Amino acid sequence: MKLLRCLWQDRLGGLVAAEYLLLGTLLTIGLLVGINSVQEALLSKLGQLAGLILPP
C-alpha cells in the first residue's frame, strides 16, 4: 500500500501505475486466451483417445 501511495503522490507515479495496470490487464487477457486454447486442444485429444478406446 505504501508503494502505491508513493507512486500516486509522485509526478510520474501515476504514469507508472497506469503502465502497470495496462500490463497486468494485457497479461490477464493473454492468460485467459492461452488457457482456453489449451483446454480446447486437450478436450480434442481426449475425445480422439476416447474414440480409439471405445469405438462406436
> Distance between CA atoms of 55 and 22, rounded to whole angstroms?
49
The residue count of the chain comes to 56
Does residue 40 register a pLDDT over 90?
yes
Rounded to the nearest integer, the mean pLDDT of the chain is 89
Confidence at residue 35, expressed as pLDDT on a 0 to 100 scale = 98
Angle, alpha carbons 50-51-56 (nearest 5°): 125
> Distance between CA atoms of 25 and 55, rounded to whole angstroms?
44
Does residue 7 register a pLDDT over 90?
no
Domain boundaries, the chain: 2-53
What are the grid coordinates assigned to 2, written together?
Answer: 505504501
pTM over 0.95: no
